[in-house]
Structure 1
């Protein structure tokens, strides 16, 4: 095979690997327009809008899971009566006209804020700060 007959891409595959992956390795031969892969790229350009990637889908699932877990933690606090500010806050929010679900979501946001601060500052959970943020509802922390 002469240098000019040599393809621009060569196929490299590991047939012994448990998962079959084919890699196209670009050679240092300049493209003269005969590269089949390049011609396919020209015929089928990538769409302008990219569909939702797996990472975006995973992030969405993570957010739903985190929200459900935070709501479960608030329900557990209400059930156990600890901290007492949790039940007091729910009662206050219900009295001023918020629905139970909306109240629980606001309380979950406060819990998420305290957890985020705790992780960012590398400190233990601050129950006093958490209770003061709960009592400040319906004003949400920044």
Structure 2
């Protein structure tokens, strides 16, 4: 993936979220989508929030040369709509 094209990266992450929703894997993604929608956030914006949580985990794993951490991803999903980087 070309790092200089954030549009392609964003599209790929949103596609990953769609795949997680379709597969219901992890189930927390669908739960989070429903929770965000119940807060009055549109479906599309809710998916963007989830994509943010996923991208934080992906890029954190790459940056720190570690495996994807499903527990940390789960925690970031739990904290939405607060963004994972808002505590930094």
Normalising by structure 1, we get a TM-score of 0.57
For residues 31-76 of structure 1, give each alpha carbon's deviation from its aligned partner in whole angstroms, at most 9, with x where no partner exists: xxxxxxxxxxxxxxxxxxxxxxxxxxx83xx110001000000000
Quote the Cα distance in structure 1 between the aligned partners of 2:53 and 2:32.
Answer: 11
Please list every run of 5 or more consecutive structure 1 residues that lacks an aligned counterpart in the other structure. 1-57
After TM superposition, where is structure 1 displaced by more than 6 Å over at least 4 residues in a row?
A: none
* Greater radius of gyration (CA): 1
Match of 1:119 among 62, 68, 71: 62
Higher helix proportion: 2
SS at match of 1:132: helix
Match of residue 89 from structure 1: 32
Please list every run of 5 or more consecutive structure 2 residues that lacks an aligned counterpart in the other structure. none
Higher strand proportion: 1
> Cα offset for 1:109?
0.8
Tell which has more relative contact order, 1 or 2 (C-alpha 8 A, sep 6+): 2
| Matching of residues 3-42 of structure 1 within 5 Å | none
Count of residue pairs brought into register by the alignment: 83
RMSD between aligned residues: 1.1
Match of 2:11 among 68, 71, 85: 68
